[in-house]
A and B are shown apart, each in its own frame.
Chain A
Amino acid sequence: MTARTLRSARPRSDRSRPTRTALGALAATILATFASSAFAQEAASAPGATDRIAIPGGTFETVLVLDAAEVAVAPFALAATPVTNAAFLAFVEARPNWGRDAVPSVFANAGYLAHWAGTTELGSAPAAAPDLPVTHVSWYAAASYCDWVGGRLPTEYEWEYVAGAGARRDVAQAVAQFAWYSSPEASVRPVGQGAPNPFGVHDLHGLVLEWVHDFETVLPGEDDGTPFGLGCGAAARLTTGNDLADQVALMRHVVRMNFVAERGSSRLGFRCAFDAPGNGE
């Protein structure tokens, strides 16, 4: 997908994560076999399946290198907004195996969709409103949803490429992004409000964190002991500069890589990406 990756998907030497990741990834492979494109057509009219923004290919400056480097991104399409509670409810109704009472714990832990009133009932909790971004979803559930609508999760570089549009060096925006981390619960609102970014995409900043396909493998773990480690003291070496735009982009990478695939959170949602015609893998 990218012309250049920082490094190959280097595994972590962490003692506990690989076991979990391996089991989960194998499960995901099996899962993908079931949730193949046969279901994609069925979901073509599902909420969130249509508002796709065509993203032209291009390059952008990643923060994840010691020296400035351009990363190339091939053309693809990205959902204009994060997936909503209503859209995800349609998915769960169509695929009951992804109901919170049915899903195996290897795919989603006990907190999965915990803000909903029932397995197929959103209820009246503020976070469960139909037009709010769905949260409390695992990486597996997010990936399976995207598969259901004929797409996939965006890669980390795809997400950053679109999110940085026109604002990669905007320090004021970086300050605002840091402020969001400071009080993420203050930003509960429906998707798609306000002006889109120059690509026409909404809510990349300031609403929820978003799962990406390769959240755990773009960067090595801080326990790898490499110069690219992301522990205290080493992280600054990764950035191309030391301004706040770099810092907040680096923080996004670090935050993403430290989530756990079977566990969502109250401020972690997702949106789907779609291969451009003739550009699939």
Chain B
Amino acid sequence: MFRTARTALTALAALSIAFAAHAQEPFEVDGMQFGMPEAEVFTEPYDGPPVVGPGLSMAPFLSPLEHEGTTTHEVRIDTFAADIEIAPGVRFASWSYGGAVPGPVLHVREGDRVIFTMKNRSDETVVVADPEQEGSDFLTQLAEFNPQSVQEAVAPMPHSMDFHSGTVAANDKWRTIAPGESIRFEWVANYPGTYIYHCGTPMVLMHTAMGQYGLVVVSPKDGFPTDAQVDREYVVVQSEFYLTRGGNGGFQFDAQAAMNKNPSHVVFNGHRNALSDRPLEADVGDRVRIHFLNVGPSDTSTFHVIGAIFDVVYYEGDPRNDMYAMQSVLVGAGMGAVVEFIVPEAGEYYLVDHEFADKEKGAVGVLRAE
């Protein structure tokens, strides 16, 4: 009796504090917009497509921007478990955004506003890789290519969403929600760049190692200086997995290996063979642009294309961070870069992490030129 009464009093005190809170007034600095509405946590009966909205693709694809100037995107990416293969014979019940790892690539323009909704569906099975499913290019591409042979899984767990492309108070927007809850918040893409998004719920190392990440491409409002010359544009996301064989024949998270930064697999686009079974394509003489993200969660990447030199690198995806004639670009965990190179002749060009232990663990892909 005493205990429940105490809980009730605590909750009433919380009510008074909640009513005292109010949203930040918006303000601008050099045309950038700050001060977003408070995040909203709610429950909804939603059981529709888990990835909905424009500009959402599956790596290596990047959706073209269809709008002029700036606009507002309404985007949904739900989070839930998904049983995936990350190398031949290596399957585990990942924690995903949208049903695959990495999650959807979101493409917006500098100055765009994103109204983001996410439901934590980790305690239900969510159908993906279904050709009938509509909602986004991501789901269509996942159904067509499905490099991870996605199957349904359940792993109830509180989760959150942290977009590095947003400038907001993390304790409001990036807050953790329970299985069955939804969250909605807004951010404005104030800076161009190649940004990670990931789950920020402790243990963050586990949540990211389990698969909760993806890429936001914020294209500069005035474009890159080389836009007119680019013939091919792709997305490559590098990430580490820390897996060990589990009791039921599958694989599961190896916490000790993760703490020791000793991944079992390092792969591009979520599968050791994702860019080998289906190589990137280009023609001789093409200028190829790759939006490269190193997820980590704990290791750097020395990204290199064997046989090519990066004509220009826009570090972190901002045209002001230009570097030239780079043999490789060093990208830390949770960082990105835009690289461009010219395809010199017909043949195969291997994309690698030039930190060779990582390459041997799977960080290899192919670009094939005719």
- A268, B156: Cβ atoms under 8 Å? yes
Q: How far is the CA of A233 from the CA of B282 in the complex (A)?
A: 41
- CB B16 to nearest CB in A, in angstroms, measures 9
Q: Which A-chain residue is minimally distant from B12 (CB atoms)?
A: A22
- B178, A186: Cβ atoms under 8 Å? no
Asked if A12 is an interface residue, CB under 8 A from chain B, the answer is: yes
- A230, B202: Cβ atoms under 8 Å? yes
Q: Which A-chain residue is minimally distant from B83 (CB atoms)?
A: A183
- CB A156 to nearest CB in B, in angstroms, measures 13
Asked if A217 is an interface residue, CB under 8 A from chain B, the answer is: yes
Asked if A202 is an interface residue, CB under 8 A from chain B, the answer is: no
Instruction: Identify the stretch in A79-87, A91-99, A117-125, A220-228 within 8 Å (CB) of chain B at 4 or more residues.
Output: A220-228
Q: Which B residues lie within 8 Å of A183 (CB)? A: 92-93, 155, 246, 248, 250, 252
- A21, B14: Cβ atoms under 8 Å? yes
- B181, A14: Cβ atoms under 8 Å? no
Q: How far is the CA of A235 from the CA of B180 in the complex (A)?
A: 24
Q: Which A residues lie within 8 Å of B158 (CB)? A: 254-255, 258-259
- A244, B259: Cβ atoms under 8 Å? yes
Q: Which B residues lie within 8 Å of A174 (CB)? A: 255
The range of chain B's interface size is 35 or more
Contacting B at CB under 8 A, from A229-281, are 229-233, 235, 244, 247-248, 250-251, 254-255, 258-260, 263, 265-268, 281
Q: Do A13 and B18 contact each other (CB < 8 Å), given the known contacts A185-B155, A231-B170?
A: yes
Q: Which A-chain residue is minimally distant from B203 (CB atoms)?
A: A251
Asked if B348 is an interface residue, CB under 8 A from chain A, the answer is: no
Q: How far is the CA of A9 from the CA of B9 in the complex (A)?
A: 10
Q: How far is the CA of A7 from the CA of B13 in the complex (A)?
A: 15
Contacting A at CB under 8 A, from B4-34, are 4-8, 10-15, 17-18, 21
Contacting B at CB under 8 A, from A1-60, are 9, 11-19, 21-26, 28-29, 31-33, 36
Q: Which A residues lie within 8 Å of B157 (CB)? A: 181, 255
Tell which of B11, B43, B248, B259 touches A22, judged by Cβ atoms closer than 8 Å. B11
Tell which of B5, B154, B206 touches A185, judged by Cβ atoms closer than 8 Å. B154
- CB B8 to nearest CB in A, in angstroms, measures 4
